[in-house]
Amino acid sequence: MRTTPGTGAILLPFFDEDLYSVTKIEVIDGGTGYASTDPPKIEIKETATPFVEGVFYPVINHPSNGSIVSVVVVNPGSGYFPLKNTIGTKVGIATTSLVEPQFVTKEYGAGIIIGVS
């Protein structure tokens, strides 16, 4: 099982309303302890399986405190349609082989704030 360092980042994704692709991901809290040499994988959860999975690269302030300072949308993907029976969309940072969302604080719209422990 792959384990990457870091904890506590909170990210806010924004979606295109036509293709449901990710237009940008805003960093609300960059967390600490992430390593630019072993960056975490960022995934969008609780949406339909996308037609094309997006690729999101975290820019990490290293060696200072290892916080995520921004997220580059390398490929926005498409088809991140919200599931009908869910309250919000979760963004996870994979620090293990599982993405472990901590909480959802805003319903689907311009984006959902998610914390990952």
pLDDT digits over 55-105, tens only? 999 999 877 799 999 999 999 999 998 877 655 555 555 544 444 433 333
Q: Calculate mean pLDDT across residues 13-37.
A: 91
Residue 21 exposure: Cα atoms within 13 Å on the Cβ side: 15
* Average pLDDT value for the chain: 76
72 assigned to some structural domain: yes
Asked whether the beta carbons of 5 and 32 are under 8 A apart, the reply is: no
Domains of the chain: total: 1
52 assigned to some structural domain: yes
Q: What is the pLDDT of residue 89?
A: 55
% the chain with pLDDT above 70: 69
**Residues spanned by the domain of 72:** 10-98
60 assigned to some structural domain: yes
78 assigned to some structural domain: yes
Query: What distance in Å separates the CA atoms of residue 91 and residue 101, rounded to the nearest whole number?
Result: 7
Q: What is the pLDDT of residue 1?
A: 59
110 assigned to some structural domain: no
28 assigned to some structural domain: yes
pTM greater than 0.75 (yes/no): no
82 assigned to some structural domain: yes
44 assigned to some structural domain: yes
Q: What is the pLDDT of residue 4?
A: 80
